[in-house]
């Protein structure tokens, strides 16, 4: 009986690895198609800007320090976190890309409109009029409170966006610090801190004016790793805190639902018997949902707000082009559509999962594969209407990148390889925005 159960579980694990590998191969084909389009269009390479240099440099310092004794690496990691926090404020992202070919290209088009015009800001954030948009309800309330604190002037929306980005950056670093301390500054968690800081997503904390990236909870993956530990009470506490963190981020932006699904699936993985695994997943999910939707009670009872849903998620068609918000969505099975999918997949960090699949043991891959699967499927179907400039969503649609970071952080060699790969993704990101690759074309009315 036990032997049969073990066989079934082993077969399931192999099936999961096979499905994940097949999906990654599909993504690799997309990267090749994207490279072909880059070649055809003679895209010029752009050097990553200073913000990329800072996060990659700090990651390199942290990775170098992981060979040191525990107290020394704790010191270096804490210093790196502090330097990152200071640079989030002192080295803001440029609003426009300084390309000689197109000096006016905005890096954050929708945020720039709302941040520069009081009228557009009030059209987007209607908390004062009693309406909260459901897809980013907590971020709407937070940015409105910041705008109010800054006096509701012509310049206060810009200050509110900047402050929200800095606060999100501090939360990102705090989560990394908590995860590292909870793991007692182990070598793996210190490498994870370095790699997470080097992800292109970290650039958005340098003052990006939009909300989508608030959905990412960087502390969830290492906390879920603790939740799979042998001691029941600390494991339960870790699952609960991971769920709360993910719920909070999902309240900031609905794209966090992807990470919530990813975390719930990863919580189901071994070790432990079936009951323990289901309880772990239920703990994570219920904590997540509580902090995602619990705010509604306060909105309705204290704020007298109405919740509004007015989002239409763009989806990529398979064979025929269709129009979304007056823009043409190219089908997946066309050269342009497949290349575009490949580029977005690469930018979101799927190459790191490919590295993890190639370099890690099967046992460590199972939770990472479960965590990555929802994002892998979502990237295929998602069609962003203002790509490639809506970096907040492009860089946060694949939360599996953090699960991959955790897996490759097992060894110094794979961590260094991952850092090199992440540096390449920074070059790809700046090249994409600098050339406006796959920029959307308006359909004439």
Tell me the sheet residues that pair with 323.
328
Interatomic CA distance for residues 429 and 434, integer angstroms: 8
For residue 43, the minimal CB distance to other proteins (Å) is 14
Structure tokens given for 147:
């705008």
* Site membership for other proteins, residue 387 (CB under 8 A): no
Q: In the complex with other proteins, which residue's Cβ is closer, 56 or 357? A: 56
- Beta-sheet pairing, 131-133 with 306-308: parallel
For residue 188, the minimal CB distance to other proteins (Å) is 17
Q: Of the listed pieces 2-10, 95-103, 226-234, 437-445, which binds other proteins according to CB under 8 A?
A: 95-103
* Site membership for other proteins, residue 69 (CB under 8 A): yes
For residue 96, the minimal CB distance to other proteins (Å) is 12
For residue 235, the minimal CB distance to other proteins (Å) is 31
For the residues of 396-435, what is the DSSP string, one character each? TS-THHHHHHHHHTTSHHHHHHHHHHHHHHHHHHHHHHHH
Q: Are 30 and 342 in contact (CB under 8 A)?
A: yes
Interatomic CA distance for residues 27 and 17, integer angstroms: 15
* Site membership for other proteins, residue 102 (CB under 8 A): no
The closest of 309, 422, 281 to 356, measured between CA atoms, is 422
Q: According to CB under 8 A, which one of 24, 33, 56, 176 is a site residue for other proteins? A: 56
For residue 61, the minimal CB distance to other proteins (Å) is 5
- Give the total of residues touching other proteins (CB under 8 A): 26
Burial zone of 399 (CB within 10 Å; 0-12 exposed, 13-18 middle, 19+ buried): buried
* Site membership for other proteins, residue 68 (CB under 8 A): yes
3-class DSSP state of 119: helix
Q: According to CB under 8 A, which one of 16, 37, 46, 405 is a site residue for other proteins? A: 46
Q: Of the listed pieces 54-62, 128-136, 291-299, 336-344, which binds other proteins according to CB under 8 A?
A: 54-62
Q: According to CB under 8 A, which one of 13, 64, 126, 331 is a site residue for other proteins? A: 64
Interatomic CA distance for residues 421 and 204, integer angstroms: 19
Burial zone of 214 (CB within 10 Å; 0-12 exposed, 13-18 middle, 19+ buried): buried
DSSP state for residue 320 in the 8-state scheme = S
* Site membership for other proteins, residue 104 (CB under 8 A): no
* Site membership for other proteins, residue 82 (CB under 8 A): no
Q: In the complex with other proteins, which residue's Cβ is closer, 130 or 424? A: 424
Q: Are 430 and 52 in contact (CB under 8 A)?
A: yes
* Site membership for other proteins, residue 76 (CB under 8 A): yes
Which single residue is written with the structure tokens 């009228």? 119
* Site membership for other proteins, residue 332 (CB under 8 A): no
Q: Of the listed pieces 46-54, 243-251, 271-279, 352-360, which binds other proteins according to CB under 8 A?
A: 46-54
Q: According to CB under 8 A, which one of 33, 37, 73, 211 is a site residue for other proteins? A: 73
* Site membership for other proteins, residue 99 (CB under 8 A): yes
Interatomic CA distance for residues 74 and 190, integer angstroms: 8
Contacting residues toward other proteins, per CB under 8 A: 46-50, 52-54, 56-58, 60-61, 64-65, 67-69, 71-73, 75-76, 98-100
């Amino acid at each position: 009986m036990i032997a049969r159960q073990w066989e079934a579980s082993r077969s399931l694990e192999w099936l999961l690895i096979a499905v994940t590998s097949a999906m990654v191969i599909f993504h690799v084909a997309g990267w090749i198609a994207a490279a072909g389009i880059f070649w055809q269009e003679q895209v010029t390479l752009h050097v990553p800007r200073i913000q990329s240099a800072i996060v990659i440099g700090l990651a390199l310092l942290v990775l170098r320090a992981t060979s040191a004794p525990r107290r020394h690496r704790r010191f270096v990691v804490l210093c790196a976190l502090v330097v990152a926090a200071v640079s989030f404020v002192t080295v803001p992202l440029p609003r426009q890309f300084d390309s000689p070919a197109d000096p006016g290209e905005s890096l954050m088009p929708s945020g720039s409109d709302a941040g520069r015009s009081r009228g557009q800001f009030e059209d987007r954030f209607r908390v004062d009029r009693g309406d909260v948009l459901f897809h980013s309800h907590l971020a709407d309330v937070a940015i409105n409170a910041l705008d109010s604190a800054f006096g509701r002037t012509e310049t206060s929306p810009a200050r509110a966006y900047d402050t929200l980005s800095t606060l999100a950056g501090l939360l990102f670093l705090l989560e990394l610090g908590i995860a590292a301390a909870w793991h007692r500054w182990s070598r793996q968690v210190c490498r994870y801190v370095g790699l997470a800081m080097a992800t292109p997503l970290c650039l958005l904390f340098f003052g990006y004016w939009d909300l989508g990236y608030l959905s990412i909870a960087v502390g969830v993956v290492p906390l879920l790793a603790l939740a799979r530990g042998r001691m029941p009470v600390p494991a339960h506490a870790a699952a609960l805190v991971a769920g709360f963190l993910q719920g909070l981020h999902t309240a900031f932006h609905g794209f966090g639902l992807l990470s919530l699904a990813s975390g719930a699936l990863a919580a189901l993985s071994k070790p432990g018997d079936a009951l323990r695994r289901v309880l772990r997943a239920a703990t994570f999910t219920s904590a997540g949902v509580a902090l995602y939707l619990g705010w509604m009670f306060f909105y309705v009872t204290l704020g007298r707000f109405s919740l509004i849903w007015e989002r239409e998620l763009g989806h990529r068609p398979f064979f025929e082009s269709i129009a979304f918000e007056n823009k043409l969505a190219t089908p997946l099975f066309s050269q342009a559509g497949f290349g575009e999918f490949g580029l977005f997949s690469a930018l979101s960090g799927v190459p790191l999962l490919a590295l993890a699949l190639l370099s890690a043991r099967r046992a460590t891959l199972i939770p990472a594969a479960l965590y990555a699967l929802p994002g892998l499927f979502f990237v295929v179907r998602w069609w962003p209407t203002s790509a490639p400039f809506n970096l907040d969503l492009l860089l946060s649609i694949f939360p599996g990148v953090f699960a991959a970071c955790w897996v490759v952080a097992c060894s110094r060699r794979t961590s260094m390889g991952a850092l090199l790969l992440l540096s390449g993704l920074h070059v790809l990101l700046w090249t994409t925005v600098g050339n406006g690759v796959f920029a959307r074309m308006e359909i004439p009315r």
